[in-house]
Amino acid sequence: MAAITLDNIVKTYGEKDQKVLAVDQASFAVEEGEMFGLIGPDGAGKTTIFRILTTLLLPDSGTASVAGYDTAADYTQIRNCVGYMPGRFSLYQDLTVEENLKFFATIFNTTIEENYHLIKDIYVQIEPFKDRRAGKLSGGMKQKLALCCALIHKPTVLFLDEPTTGVDVVSRVEFWDMLKRLKAQGITILVSTPYMDEAVLCDRIALIQSGKILSVDTPANTVKKYPTKLYAAKASDMHQLLKDIRSYPGVASCFTFGESLHFTFRQDDAQNIAGLKATLDSGNYLDLVINEIQPNIEDYFIQISEPVHA
Amino acid sequence: MRDIAIKADKLTKKFDDFVAVDAITFDVHQGEIFGFVGANGAGKTTAMRILCGLSKPTSGSATVAGFDVYKETERIKRNIGYMSQKFSLYDDLTVMENITFYAGIYGLSDKEIKARGESLLSQLGISHEAKTFVSSLPLGWKQKLAFSVAVIHEPKIVFLDEPTGGVDPVTRRQFWDLIYEAADRGITVFVTTHYMDEAEYCNRLTVMVDGRIDALDTPANLKKQFSVDSMDKVFYQLARAAKRSGD
């Protein structure tokens, strides 16, 4: 059975003459025990989907289910069996670490002791500060406390809305390690992120932009769908190189990508690559390197989200 | 030798016993894109606030656009632009109202505001949105507009505090095109980011760890120095050694 299903979900905000379409006929399913990523930029509709699935918002049309329950009809059952960590820190700032955790355990009719095994790995890291008010914690510690509070009633499905946004690389790596351990305990996880490099850590991913689901697949299969060959170029003067490659007539798209530029041709033929190399060689690049490369998730996202440059 | 836009010498900021910024020393050249990365809590924001004239250091010295961070903070503010992801434009003002407001604060005349405002809008291709409320613009447009507004007075230096957080991959890249153009015009760009691919776009880069500058060089040299193939790994090696825990 699927742990989460969405079927043609549509959600608009605002009055009738100024309607904003937040989610546009979104459909996907998350299997039990799966770590599923919802990948897309701010404003793509990720949080709206989370709020619909956690029964905090009703869709305009379409149906959704969590753990077999309908999000509209069976909202009480869903609220009892899901954990939700919203993107914005939502714990009580003037309660201490321990008080927050106790509070969430109590409203779900459980105790910290009963499910301590679930949060132990994470909680020991913030336990030295258990008497500190939540509002006085650092960002990384807040994030760990919020995760503990979302887990303390032993949810079957865990919703994490951008848990790593604004978090540095080291804390992000730690956080994903924690998620892997939770997945190993059989918890289904739906996690959203704007960081494309985190997509590969999920079992399957949905790419979303402007409310539309663009693709649902494993990370490996997602990049296989890249329609053309992709090349990378590197030289000491990257800005000049960007301008030169973009102005070559056969080039379809060219983007900066860390230390290199990634580009595609309108037509994959040997003539184009030879022609471009010849053009660039007549420039004054001393250390030009061009290779064909394997696309990654961000390449694919750029490819499907933006029409090819005219 | 190029002109120095920012010069910091053993710049230090303490909050009681806590050393937020620990004797950092560096120069930024005019027209350079200078990256400032570090874990949450490494001291980036504190250092940036000092350089923007918003906070006084405890010891050490620094000049920004030639002005002293202790005594000439008002003159610093007049020579810089500032933009962050968290705060940039007023949602309940229109695009043109935001431009007028900021350009006015930066001291442009009404005539200059009109001329530069119009050329800015046409460069961004959003002239038809002049009367639109900023709240209804897509995030990507907002960020590009916010950057253009932050440099509307052609400051010597622009400070960008995580300008691209949450922005889609295409817009993030278009945003960097704007940064390059500003640098080409001679504007010094001082930028913090959590995206390590963006660290590669900087001419030089510092990595802050526990208030100190633990590395400062071009992206290529840093990778060589740490014998790794990506900035991600450089950062990971440095930041993992941090003693402070986050924020």
- Using a CB–CB cutoff of 8 Å, tell me whether B171 touches chain A: yes
| pLDDT over 80 at B59, yes or no | yes
The closest of A149, A163, A92 to A118, measured between CA atoms, is: A149
Question: Do A212 and A180 touch, CB atoms closer than 8 A?
Answer: no
Phi and psi, residue A161, nearest 5°: -95, 105
The closest of A164, A232, A149, A230 to A202, measured between CA atoms, is: A164
d(CA B45, CA B95): 28
d(CA B218, CA B86): 28
Six-digit token string for B142: 């907002």
Give the per-residue pLDDT at A21.
92
Cα A93 to Cα A102, A111, A135, B178: the distances in Å are: 14, 21, 4, 39
CATH architecture for the domain at A230-294? 2-Layer Sandwich (3.30)
Burial class (CB in 10 A: 0-12, 13-18, 19+), B164: buried
Cα B208 to Cα A2, A189, A192, A206, B18: the distances in Å are: 45, 34, 28, 35, 16
Residue of A nearest to B232 (CA): A169
Residue recorded with tokens 């355990």: A105
Which positions in chain B touch A208 (Cβ < 8 Å)?
none
User: Listing from the earlier edge strand, what are the strands of the sheet with A35-39?
Assistant: A82-85, A157-160, A188-193, A35-39, A204-209, A212-217
Give the per-residue pLDDT at A15.
81
Question: Do A171 and B40 touch, CB atoms closer than 8 A?
Answer: yes
Give the per-residue pLDDT at A281.
86
Question: Do B203 and B187 touch, CB atoms closer than 8 A?
Answer: no
- Using a CB–CB cutoff of 8 Å, tell me whether B181 touches chain A: no
> What's the gap in Å between the CA of A134 and the closest CA on chain B?
13
Strand partners, A192: A38
Quick: pLDDT tens for A205-222. Answer: 999 998 999 999 999 999
Quick: pLDDT tens for A18-69. Answer: 788 999 999 999 999 999 999 998 889 999 999 999 999 999 999 999 999 9
Give the per-residue pLDDT at A310.
31
Six-digit token string for B205: 């880069």
**What length does chain B have?**
247
d(CA B125, CA A235): 31
d(CA B178, CA A240): 14
Helix (H, G, I), strand (E, B) or coil at A161: coil
| pLDDT over 60 at B246, yes or no | no
Q: B247–A209: do the CB atoms touch at under 8 Å?
A: no
- Using a CB–CB cutoff of 8 Å, tell me whether B240 touches chain A: yes
Six-digit token string for B101: 């407001």
Which positions in chain B touch A169 (Cβ < 8 Å)?
39, 194, 196, 232, 235-236, 239
Which positions in chain A touch B201 (Cβ < 8 Å)?
238, 256
Does residue B17 or residue A159 have the better pLDDT?
A159
Phi and psi, residue A139, nearest 5°: -55, -45
Nearest to B246 among A141, A165, A305 (CB): A141
> What's the gap in Å between the CA of B45 and the closest CA on chain A?
13
d(CA A38, CA A43): 13
Which positions in chain B touch A209 (Cβ < 8 Å)?
168
The helix or strand, by DSSP H or E, that contains position A180, with its residue range, turns out to be helix A169-184
Nearest to A138 among B166, B240, B247 (CB): B247
Quick: pLDDT tens for B62-76. Answer: 999 999 999 999 999
d(CA A233, CA A243): 12
Average pLDDT estimate for B93-109 = 94
Q: A165–B167: do the CB atoms touch at under 8 Å?
A: no
Average pLDDT estimate for A117-121 = 91
Nearest to A258 among B169, B200, B246 (CB): B200
Model confidence band, residue B1 (pLDDT cutoffs 50, 70, 90) = low
- Using a CB–CB cutoff of 8 Å, tell me whether B241 touches chain A: no
Give the per-residue pLDDT at B167.
82
Nearest to A194 among B166, B240, B246 (CB): B166
If you average pLDDT over every residue of chain A, what do you get? 91
Residue type, B45: T
Strand partners, A64: A6
Which positions in chain B touch A165 (Cβ < 8 Å)?
165-166
Q: A302–B242: do the CB atoms touch at under 8 Å?
A: no
Average pLDDT estimate for B209-229 = 93
Give the per-residue pLDDT at A306.
56
Residue of A nearest to B184 (CA): A239
Structural domain spans, chain A? 2-224, 230-294
Residue recorded with tokens 């807040």: A142
- Using a CB–CB cutoff of 8 Å, tell me whether A194 touches chain B: yes
Model confidence band, residue A309 (pLDDT cutoffs 50, 70, 90) = very low
| pLDDT over 60 at A308, yes or no | no
Residue type, A239: H
Residues A2-224: name the CATH superfamily.
P-loop containing nucleotide triphosphate hydrolases (3.40.50.300)
Q: Which among A145-154, A301-310, B1-10 has the top mean pLDDT? A: A145-154
The closest of A235, A168, A234 to A195, measured between CA atoms, is: A168
| pLDDT over 80 at A167, yes or no | no
Model confidence band, residue B197 (pLDDT cutoffs 50, 70, 90) = confident
Of A53-57, A304-308, B210-214, least confident by mean pLDDT is A304-308
Quick: pLDDT tens for B123-181. Answer: 898 999 999 999 888 878 888 999 999 999 999 999 999 888 878 888 888 899 899 99
Residue of B nearest to A141 (CA): B246
Which positions in chain B touch A194 (Cβ < 8 Å)?
165-167
Average pLDDT estimate for A245-250 = 93
- Using a CB–CB cutoff of 8 Å, tell me whether B247 touches chain A: yes
- Domains detected in chain B: 1-79+156-247 (3.40.50.300), 88-154 (no CATH)
Model confidence band, residue B247 (pLDDT cutoffs 50, 70, 90) = very low
Residue of B nearest to A42 (CA): B166
- Using a CB–CB cutoff of 8 Å, tell me whether A196 touches chain B: yes
| pLDDT over 60 at B60, yes or no | yes
